[in-house]
Amino acid sequence: MNKIGEMTAWADSRRELWLDIIRVYLGLGLFARGFLLINNQSPGYLVDQLAGSGHSWLLIGGLLHYVVLAHFVGGALLAVGLFTRLAALIQIPILVGAVCLVHRQEGLLAVGQSLEFSALVLFMLVMFVFAGAGRFSVDHVIFGTRDHRVSGLPAGMKS
């Protein structure tokens, strides 16, 4: 077998590991975004976007706190693989808002590529809502493989 074939076989035998690596990376990215929002003394862009909507400051403050907590706490939970499906699910409304309300007017292939990136993150979150955590997660240690398979096939359909 040639080197490429060996590398492909090695990667194929570790599909769960690759999904776990993507989950950890996604979780760390969301955690970092939440951390930046917490430490930013003037969260100007987000506040400007929300203030332009014409809603009350109470609603805007609540949304801002939701975004910060969801990214910070949800990102940390995703990174370690604890309550993975819930951690991904609480992020989805934020990313739907980012894709449909905030970045849509920029369009595809804009300089910052915010729409494409937000859509990619949204896609990955939906994927982890369905797939759950992999073998290398706190969910797997606590709950076992019962609801945390990545194979996609129910136990009765495996051959």
Q: Tens of pLDDT along 101-159?
A: 776 676 665 555 578 888 999 999 999 999 888 888 999 899 886 544 444 434 444 43
Match 């905030």 to its residue by tokens: 102
> 37, 47 in Cβ contact below 8 A?
no
Note if the pTM is more than 0.85. no
* Of 62 and 84, more confident: 84
Closest CA to 51 of 42, 41, 61: 61
